[in-house]
Amino acid sequence: MKSIKKLFNVMQHYLYNIRKSQQTDILLLGALLARQNKALPLLDNLADAEFKVFSQAGDDGIIQYLIHKVQIARKIFIEFGVENYVESNTRFLLRHDNWSGLVIDGSRKAIEYIRSDDIFYQHDLQALEAFITKDNINDLISSAGISGEVGLLSVDIDGNDYWVWKAIDVVQPVIVVAEYNSVFGRDRALTVPYKSNFIRSEAHYSYLYFGASLKALCLLAEEKGYSLVGCNAVGNNAYFVRKDRLGKLKALSVEEGYVESQFRESRNAQGQLNYLRGAQRYACIQGMPVVNVATGNTELL
């Protein structure tokens, strides 16, 4: 038994060193791509700036493009809904650009993982365990000693995204990355009704009923003084820039910026992936209650 355990520990150490080596190689490649993005001219489509190092899709590249097109004095980020932070929108900012940041997730295991990661002592990173609501988000940010202008806010909690962003007033980010639910379509300004304990997997078995439409986020952005500058190519993240820092970036309408996602992550009632496509996804959640933020009325999908 001791020999097996010793072998297991050796293998763990070996795999860990491989991962560190791979991360070094990926970071070197990311640094080259970031240098190219810094020199890019103004783009008509943010997707043309995409590359992936740690982000789920090509968001690392979009963020590198934007931080060199807008004036950012305080290189601080806030990201929540990060899970174990291995895949995230801000890890490359931390590793490559040496920004400071705050990450929040509701999983204790995830936060413990982040705090045990080398990045936690190598960089100025704070990690908080909390289930985020519209009532606690400002206190959570303040508790980390962060207020006023920050460089970037990334909102992705698969649920109350609209309501939580609406509630944030303790910081004024220059760039906001907000997940939208393209299954809700482009024409209506919709969000799931606020529920403090909203959990995507429990709200509807399909996992398709969550978050807000792009139009809802754009109306909120307008209220807060932001303009839509584009979406990523896979159709799940929208990018907003504060109007006083927009510079020569082009503000887009919902119709100009909307990208329909091709994700086939839906589940059946037994919890198994059933790979619904296109309009099948909307049909699966049709009839569920939503709030039309343009009218304030609760409607049905």
Tens digits of residue pLDDT in 213-253? 999 999 999 999 999 999 999 999 999 999 999 999 999 99
In the prediction, which pLDDT does 29 show? Answer: 87
| Residue 140 CB contacts under 8 Å (≥ 6 apart), including other chains | 104, 128, 130, 132
In the prediction, which pLDDT does 26 show? Answer: 81
In the prediction, which pLDDT does 168 show? Answer: 98
In the prediction, which pLDDT does 208 show? Answer: 98
Task: Give residue 240's identity as a one-letter amino acid code.
Answer: F
Each domain of the chain, given as residue ranges in start order, spans 2-300
Fold (topology level) of 2-300: Rossmann fold (3.40.50)
Q: Are 83 and 107 in contact (CB under 8 A)?
A: yes
In the prediction, which pLDDT does 10 show? Answer: 42
Low-confidence ranges of the chain (pLDDT < 50): 1-16, 18
pTM, 2 dp: 0.92
Q: Which two tokens stand for residue 49?
A: 């700036």
